Structure 1
Amino acid sequence: MNFLDLFRAVFGLAITLGLIGLAAWATRRYAPQVLARFQAERGARRLQVIETLVLDPARRLVLVRVDAEERLILLGEGRELIEPRGVAVEAGDVK
């Protein structure tokens, strides 16, 4: 193997890694807009994740909107705990 073959192999590896890096950058930069556009074309969705909060490595709180109702879900440790229905706290009731 002479110097030209070694240079050709290193150059090919550099080009390949550069293309992979460019694809990763483009995916991070443009994928959310493209996915949002595809979802908008399908129509209105009934389920939306409003916010998530990581409590610790095993548990997470997720605020989900289903139609016009928001639900709080605790995920983790192999189980899900969903806020009971019918519990309504008004802004004036909080003490």
Structure 2
Amino acid sequence: MNFLDLARAVFGLAITLGIIGLAAWAARRYAPQLMARLQADRGARRMQVVETLVLDPARRLVLVRVDDEERLILLGEGKELIEPRSPGAPR
């Protein structure tokens, strides 16, 4: 394989990746309703992230809703800590 063949292969790969990136950017920029519709077509979800709070570079708090129950989860440093439910708390 000579230099010209290698340059042609690299140029072709760069053009292909550029077209894919341009299509993704255009879809996000000019068709957000299309992206939202594609996300909604997955069906009803039981779990969703309500809110996320970054505490520091290693830890974050995540508020997750499962069915009608919200749980607070501390993520980071290789550990996950889930808020314990109070004995009298409604389910």
TM-score where L is the length of structure 2: 0.62
Can you list the C-alpha shifts for 1:10-69, whole angstroms capped at 9, x where unaligned?
xx78x9275355234225436865454234233211100001111111001000000001
> Identity, % of aligned pairs?
78
Where in structure 2 are there 5+ consecutive unaligned residues?
1-7
Q: 4+ residue runs of structure 1 moved beyond 6 angstroms? A: none
RMSD over equivalenced CA pairs, Å: 3.2
Where in structure 1 are there 5+ consecutive unaligned residues?
1-8, 89-95
The residue aligned with 1:38 is: 38
1:67 lines up with 2:64 in the alignment: no
CA distance in structure 2 between the aligned counterparts of 1:24 and 1:42, rounded to whole angstroms: 20
TM-score where L is the length of structure 1: 0.60
Q: How many residues align?
A: 77
CA distance in structure 2 between the aligned counterparts of 1:58 and 1:20, rounded to whole angstroms: 33
The structure whose Rg is larger is: 1
CA contact (8 A) 2:62 2:72 kept: yes
**Residue type of the alignment partner of 2:63:** L
CA distance in structure 2 between the aligned counterparts of 1:64 and 1:27, rounded to whole angstroms: 29
Alignment of 1:1-95 (within 5 A): 16=15, 19-29=19-29, 33-34=33-34, 36-86=36-86
The residue aligned with 2:3 is: none
